[in-house]
């Protein structure tokens, strides 16, 4: 059965880049003809199938080499091998020896292309003219498992317009002991230009076609393909290359059909039934009559079937007959039938038996946990399950194959399951874990989504006729990030410092985003109070909490990139984000200074970069952190992050330098509180708006985001002011007028 599609199926086996066998010939006005049995010598194709010139040693075609094969018009076709392994033109194949289609010499090999993601085989017509039709016999097997029962072929013209054609392989065979006794599959493949022009493809002529061998290619493994009787434009010398008798065929009239199978989705809207039909070919040398009927051993859904008796068939003609159409509304399961074809006018012509297998699949019944948000912080996973086949005995159910996946927000797939090409079969389930990095993130709940795209198949990588689209599944993701007030990490020598330690609350997140540890050591961080807490005059206006960064080995021996995340609402009044700098507290002067000024170069290498450290490293940073980057710093205003390249440690914060006095601190005691309001109400009411702005200043940063002062301190409300005002009036009793 031939079916086509616009999109190339992803390779089912994570293996290698496309590996191929190429048969090429340039498109010209006159189409060529050729027929190859891959048999050497006068009794075969008339030449020696061997890449060596003159022929020597084995009849072989090594990987990456090409062979020029003469055609029936005196020109040549170019045959190339890119399967990753040597291919041969002889009878030394193993599994294909059990195939009914491969006989005598054939073109065969064991593809082992070692690079990801796929292996394949290509045949491309290039030297003497494009083709209108192509046919060949094909078989393959793989050790340790049953081979796929479908084949993918790419057809293209000399402009490299292309179409993908898919074929069911008709019959299975035991691949033999070397392959563990697993099933191989075979089929006679035939297609023409009309097939390549279906579904809006723009193939002008068959300048080439490619056979993909992905499912049997394993590096170091045992897989085998074999190709025989390659016919280009009907080049077979006797019209039919099949047996000189009346015989059944499918697609290719040159090949004897012994059986085939097909898979359908139950109740598919594409069609209501599946046909047991095949071609009857008269290659007897004279006109004849034939009979065909279903055998009584066929399953009941086929019987009684159509009966053919005394059907006239001229010599050289082919007639398609249908013995039964089985309704796809039947219960899911596996059905089989056999038919007998007889030559009514020649009793010496042996009868032929054709076996047919039909599998009807119930649609997958997919369930997931996508109804509610996945709580990633508690180990929540994406779960996907397919119901078991049933409830009746022998039921079959289709599965779903993952064809794509995407994720948004600060999340990542862990990558263990639900990968592209993973298959969720009947009665199975899969769960994918998720990753979230807390480093550089403020305390809050983060949200995102994950989407898995699915495609219906009968088994992993196996096409299902009549399959219907499967809706993608999208999960909402949540991670409720709590405060991290302190953190530490034990690092090995030369170990990365990036995102090994980090602290966060609702207004501040700090972490190291670059550098390597100079030796084995412990690196720690903690959120602490502002060392200028209680001072009436401050050396800096801070936008974040204060972080204590400590290296157990002196920080001067290693460059590191310290990053702070901040809130827009906490910017110092009158300043922009571009004016923010990382600050370090200088214990000598008891003042905040620029963090880069405490570097070994005293900030001599300072240069501002508008953007993230990642962007800096990819640009002027040259791709790696080195001594030339010392004292570089920047602000990523888009993501509210500021960073600096340092080689010092201590108390760090983010802010702007200056002499910041508290105008409403009337006592003065280093903070602005209710006592200052009472004094201003009595002595200087004009400063009450300033008191409202500065209220709470000087008390130091509260570290936990659950505290009321973790963020910007709110101004006192009207009710608060009224209460303070009434309290103030009670301090001044009214005088009585004398009677």
How far apart CA 687 and CA 664 sit, in angstroms, is: 7
ω into residue 391 within 30 of 0, thus cis? yes
In sequence order, the 6+-apart residues with CB closer than 8 A to the CB of 229 are 35, 36, 37, 135, 136, 137, 236, 241, 254, 255
Using only C-alpha atoms, what is the Rg of the chain? Answer: 39
* 195 neighbors 5 (Cβ within 8 angstroms): no
Place of tokens 């194959």: 401
The pairing of beta strand 411-413 with beta strand 366-368: unpaired
Q: Convert the pLDDT of each residue in 116-131 to its tens digit.
A: 434 344 444 444 456 7
Nearest to 547 by CA among 573, 581, 508, 497: 508
Backbone CA torsion sign across 120, 125, 126, 127: positive
Please give the pLDDT value at position 461.
63
Going by the DSSP 8-state scheme, the letter that residue 415 receives in this structure is S
Q: How far apart are CA 175 and CA 223, in angstroms?
A: 10
Yes or no: domain 246-361 corresponds to CATH 2.60.40.10: yes
* Distance separating alpha carbons of residues 466 and 1, to the nearest angstrom: 13
The Cα 83–Cα 122 span in angstroms is: 9
The pLDDT value recorded for residue 162 is: 83
Count, residues in the chain: 739
Low-confidence spans in the chain with pLDDT less than 50: 1-31, 73, 116-128, 237-241, 698-715, 718-720, 722-739
Q: What is the CATH number of domain 486-660?
A: 2.60.220
Task: Provide the token pair at 554.
Answer: 């002196």
Q: From CA 612, how far away is CA 614, in angstroms rounded?
A: 5
Per-residue burial over 481-497, b if 16 or more Cβ lie within 10 Å, else e, is bebbbebebebeeebeb
Q: Where are the domains of the chain?
A: 2-232, 246-361, 366-480, 486-660, 662-729
Q: What are the b/e assignments for 111-150, b being 16+ CB within 10 Å?
A: bbbeeeebbbbbbbbbbbbbbebbbbbbbbbbbeebbbbb
Closest CA to 386 of 427, 414, 351: 427
Integer angstrom CA distances of residue 262 from 97, 326, 591: 24, 12, 82
Question: What are 475's two structure tokens?
Answer: 């999960």
- Provide the CA 168 distance to its chain's centre, in angstroms: 26
Q: Which is it for strands 546-551 and 521-528: parallel, antiparallel or unpaired?
A: antiparallel
CA distance 480 to 270: 47
How far from each other are the two terminal CA atoms of the chain, in whole angstroms?
Answer: 120
Helix (H, G, I), strand (E, B) or coil at 598: helix
Using alpha carbons only, give the angle 102, 107, 110 rounded to the nearest 5 degrees. Answer: 100
Helix or strand holding residue 586 (H, E): strand 581-586
CATH class assigned to 366-480:
mainly beta
Of 534, 541, 540, 539, residue with least CA distance to 667: 534
Q: State both tokens at 100.
A: 């009914």
Bridge partners (DSSP) listed for residue 293: 340
**What's the rounded Cα separation, in Å, for the pair 536 and 671?**
7
**Pairing between β-strand 259-265 and β-strand 352-361 as defined by DSSP bridges:** parallel
The span from the CA of 521 to the CA of 414, in Å, is 29
Token pair 């450290």: residue: 613
Max distance between CA atoms of the chain, in angstroms, equals 150
Can you give the pTM of this predicted structure?
0.61
Q: 270-298: buried (b, 16+ CB within 10 Å) or exposed (e) per residue?
A: eeeebebbbbbbbbbeeebbbebbbeeeb
Query: What is the spatial distance between Cα 101 and Cα 96, in angstroms, rounded to a whole number?
Result: 8
Q: Fold identical between 246-361 and 366-480?
A: yes
The predicted structure's pLDDT at residue 81: 81
The helix/strand/coil state of 153 is: strand
Q: How far apart are CA 642 and CA 485, in angstroms?
A: 20
Strands (E), 50-129: 60-61, 66-70, 76-82, 87-90, 106-109, 121-123
User: Is the Cβ–Cβ distance between 699 and 709 less than 8 Å?
Assistant: yes
């Amino acid at each position: 059965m031939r079916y086509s599609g616009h999109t190339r199926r992803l390779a089912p086996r994570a293996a290698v880049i496309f590996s191929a066998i190429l048969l090429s010939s340039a498109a010209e006005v006159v189409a060529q003809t050729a027929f190859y049995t891959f048999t050497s010598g006068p009794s075969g194709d008339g030449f020696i199938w061997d890449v060596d010139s003159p022929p020597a040693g084995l009849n072989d075609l090594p990987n990456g080499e090409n062979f020029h094969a003469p055609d029936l018009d005196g020109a040549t076709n170019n045959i190339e091998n890119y399967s990753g392994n040597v291919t041969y033109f002889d009878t030394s194949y193993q599994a294909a020896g059990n195939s009914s289609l491969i006989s005598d010499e054939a073109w065969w090999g064991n593809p082992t292309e070692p690079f990801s993601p796929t292996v394949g085989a290509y045949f491309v017509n290039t030297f003497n003219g494009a083709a209108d039709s192509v046919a060949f016999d094909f078989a393959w097997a793989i050790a340790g498992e049953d081979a796929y029962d479908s084949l993918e072929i790419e057809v293209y013209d000399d402009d490299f317009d292309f179409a993908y054609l898919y074929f069911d392989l008709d019959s299975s065979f035991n691949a033999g002991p070397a392959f563990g006794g697993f099933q191989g599959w075979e089929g006679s493949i035939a297609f023409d230009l009309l097939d390549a022009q279906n579904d809006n493809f723009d193939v002008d002529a068959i300048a080439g076609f490619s056979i993909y061998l992905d499912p049997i290619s394993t590096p170091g493994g045992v897989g085998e393909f074999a190709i025989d009787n390659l016919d280009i434009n009907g080049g077979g010398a006797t019209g039919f290359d099949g047996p000189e008798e009346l015989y059944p065929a499918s697609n290719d009239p040159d090949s004897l059909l012994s059986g085939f199978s097909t898979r359908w989705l139950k109740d598919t809207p594409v069609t209501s039934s599946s046909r047991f039909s095949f071609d009857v070919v008269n290659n007897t040398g004279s006109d004849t009559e034939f009979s065909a009927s279903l055998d009584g051993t066929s399953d009941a859904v086929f019987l009684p079937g159509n009966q053919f008796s005394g059907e006239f068939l001229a010599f050289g003609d082919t007639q398609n007959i249908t013995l039964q159409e089985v309704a796809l509304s039947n219960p899911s399961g596996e059905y089989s039938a056999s038919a007998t074809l007889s030559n009514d006018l020649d009793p010496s012509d042996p009868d032929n038996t054709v076996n047919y297998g039909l599998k009807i699949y119930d649609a997958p019944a997919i369930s997931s946990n996508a109804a509610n948000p996945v709580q990633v912080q508690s180990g929540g996973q994406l779960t996907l399950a397919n119901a078991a086949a049933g409830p009746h005995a022998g039921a079959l159910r289709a599965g779903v194959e993952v064809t794509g996946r995407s994720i948004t927000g600060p999340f990542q797939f862990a990558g263990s399951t639900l990968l592209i090409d993973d298959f969720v079969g009947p009665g199975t389930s899969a769960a994918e874990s998720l990753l979230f990095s807390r480093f550089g993130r403020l305390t809050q709940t983060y949200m995102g989504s994950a989407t898995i795209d699915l495609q219906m198949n009968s088994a992993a990588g196996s096409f299902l006729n009549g399959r219907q689209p499967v809706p993608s599944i999208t999960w909402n993701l949540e991670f409720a990030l709590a405060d991290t007030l302190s953190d530490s990490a034990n690092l090995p020598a030369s170990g990365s410092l990036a995102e090994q330690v980090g602290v966060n609350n609702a207004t501040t997140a700090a972490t190291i985003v670059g550098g390597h540890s100079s030796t084995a050591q412990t690196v720690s961080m903690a959120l602490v109070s502002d060392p200028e807490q209680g001072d009436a005059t401050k050396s800096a206006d801070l936008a974040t909490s204060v972080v204590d960064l400590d290296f157990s080995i002196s920080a001067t021996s290693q460059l590191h990139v310290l990053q702070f995340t901040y809130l827009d609402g906490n910017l110092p009044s009158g300043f922009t984000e571009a004016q923010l700098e990382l600050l370090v507290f200088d214990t000598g002067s008891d003042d905040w200074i620029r963090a880069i000024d405490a570097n070994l170069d005293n900030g001599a290498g300072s240069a501002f970069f508008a953007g993230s450290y990642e962007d800096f490293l990819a640009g002027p940073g040259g791709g790696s952190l080195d001594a030339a980057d010392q004292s570089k710093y920047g602000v990523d205003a888009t993501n509210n992050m500021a960073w600096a390249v340092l080689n010092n440690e201590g108390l760090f914060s983010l802010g702007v330098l200056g002499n910041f006095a508290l105008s409403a601190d009337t006592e003065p005691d280093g903070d602005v509180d209710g006592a200052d309001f009472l004094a201003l109400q009595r002595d200087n009411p004009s400063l009450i708006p300033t008191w409202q702005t500065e209220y709470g200043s000087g008390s130091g940063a509260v570290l936990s985001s659950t505290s009321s002062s973790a963020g910007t301190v709110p101004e006192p409300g009207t009710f608060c002011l009224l209460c303070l005002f009434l309290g103030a009036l009670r301090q001044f009793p009214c005088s009585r007028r004398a009677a």
